[in-house]
Amino acid sequence: MPPNKHKALRSLCLMAALGAGMAHAQDQDEDTIPRLESTACATQVLEDLNASCYTFYGQENWDDPNGNTVELPVGVIDPETENEADTESDPVVFFPGGPGYSILGNADYIEQLRKDIGNRSLVVFDPRGFKHSTPSLECPGYAAVSPYHNIIHTPALTSSLDPMERMAHITEEVAACYQKLEDEGVEISQYTESATSRDLEEIRNLLDYDNVNIFGSSTGSGTALSYVRYYPDSVRSAILGWPWYASLRNRAPLDEFYTLKRRFTDVLAMCVEESEACREQIPAWFLAIDRARRALDNKPYIAQVESGVEQKTLYFDGAAFLDTLYLMLPQYYGELPRIVSEVSEGDYSSLHDFFMIDEYNPVTEAPNYAMGAFLAQACNDMGTNRPTPQDSIAAVQREPAIIGFEPIWLCAWWGGDGDVPPEHNDIVTAETPALAIHGQMDPCCGTRWSEELAETMPNLQAIEMQALGHSPVNECRSTVINEFLGDPLAQVDTSCQNEVPLAEWQLE
């Protein structure tokens, strides 16, 4: 018998294909919950990678079953060579981010993960509510207005110069999404990190893994951290990629906004430190971002674009300037000294490219996202920390740029609190070895997240990748992950973190 049930399942599937027997999954009672059935792969990419594919069946509400079940696609991709003793006992489970972003059809993404983890089995899945799961929490109306998915020209940012009018475009769709899912019979409160953690624990048991390494991306790192909280004995080690943790993100929107905004000033400070010419050009670098913003508030940049058969006007004020920086800092940080200098002096010649006017597309969509899953997890995981409309309206009135920053403020229009344990938003305390990976030009999820978490997770190490943003990809990333997985309690060599050089600073 192979050393774990995953191998047994795969072997039995091969036997079944030859008419020699039946797969283990087929021997299970169809009414058994939870269960794991060997099935066709959810995507052609998994098929092409020779993944062993399953469907997991679980309760929508684990604590109080409501008659609804969730069906999650699972793929186990074994290493190309299996000559190392730890390939069976050292699998890596990947938690996708977004939330709501499915990687199952993204070959390049999965191949990067395989490079990261080396000669280990990779387990990928769509969590509850994601694109290939059942139910899939789809809300295309919200996808059309969300500023969070690099849709810089969304009406939530550019439809007018009145923040309340802009805000209405997105809040109406958030409320409509919740109502749509409720009408479909979804018990919305159950789409949380804690429920996904329970799903994975059942999957781990059914695959007969004693424990697993877990690897999260962005909000997926928050889910991975929740798994550490609720099932610490099941985790050998945790990789927290460009992490967005529930316990830190669910704060008052203004507090988080000002923390994020500091990254823009930090970039200018780097330029001044490295270049005397930069210091001469922006002598008041601590004030330069706000001066550029005020210039745009006093005289917005206005662009005409083609929208079908009509012309459409886009308005870019100071808030839109900050929101674009938030989304695009890794691409624009080298140009920032020149842009803030020119804009402050009334020269808007750089803004056509900065606001990507030539890339305007009147049809906005998020093809790999289940946008209802995005809202469900982002809002449900707040628990009772979810804001009221009065909270969020007051925040946007005080700081209009909040509209394009983290989406937590819009959860005021989500229809209910998530069903989360009381401790869900507490800081995680664990001895679990962990490696956090950050991008230097990531305003969202910098090293401050790990610095706070390290106070209660003493075996957490962190690395910041120079010049890179959210979801950094470089050779160093794979090097340190491989080293960490080999011995999670050993100190990782981070000397490669500056392998990507900083862009040249663009001055007048």
**In sequence order, what DSSP letters do the residues of 126-192 get, joined into one string?**
--TBSTTSBSB---HHHHTT-STTS-TT-HHHHS-S-HHHHHHHHHHHHHHHHHHHHHTT--GGG-S
Residue type, 227: Y
Most confident of 50-59, 81-90, 155-164, 308-317: 50-59
Most confident of 26-35, 229-238, 254-263: 229-238
Q: What is the per-residue pLDDT for 22?
A: 32
Which residue, 334, 323, 341, is CA-closest to 440?
334
35-139+187-250+422-486: which CATH topology? Rossmann fold (3.40.50)
Is 218's pLDDT higher than 60?
Answer: yes
The alpha-carbon radius of gyration of the chain (Å, integer) is 24
CA distances (Å), 339 to each of 158, 265, 352, 383, in order?
A: 20, 13, 11, 41
Buried b (16+ CB within 10 A) or exposed e, 375-403: bbbbbbbbbebbbeeeebbebbeebbbbb
φ, ψ of residue 87 to 5 degrees: the values are -65, -30
Do the Cβ atoms of 204 and 5 come closer than 8 Å?
Answer: no
Domain ranges of the chain: 35-139+187-250+422-486
Mean pLDDT calculated for residue range 409-419: 95
Mean pLDDT calculated for residue range 14-31: 45
Is 24's pLDDT higher than 50?
Answer: no
Structure confidence at residue 224 as a pLDDT band (50, 70, 90): very high
For 301-343, the pLDDT digits (tens) are: 999 998 877 899 999 999 999 999 998 999 999 999 999 999 9
Which residue, 432, 437, 441, 465, is CA-closest to 450?
437
Lowest mean pLDDT among 61-75, 244-258, 357-371, 406-420: 244-258
Buried b (16+ CB within 10 A) or exposed e, 171-185: bebbbebbebbeeee
User: What percent of the chain stands above pLDDT 70?
Assistant: 92
Angle at 322 between CA 145 and CA 436, to 5 degrees: 90
Structure confidence at residue 85 as a pLDDT band (50, 70, 90): very low
Three-class secondary structure of residue 365 per DSSP: coil
CA distances (Å), 177 to each of 49, 137, 158, 401, 407, in order?
A: 35, 9, 22, 23, 15
pTM of the full predicted structure? 0.92
Mean pLDDT calculated for residue range 413-419: 96
Whether the ω angle into residue 73 lies within 30 degrees of 0, i.e. cis, is no
Structure confidence at residue 19 as a pLDDT band (50, 70, 90): very low
Q: What is the per-residue pLDDT for 88?
A: 47
Q: What is the per-residue pLDDT for 263?
A: 94
Distance between CA atoms of residues 380 and 411, nearest Å: 8
Q: What is the per-residue pLDDT for 306?
A: 87
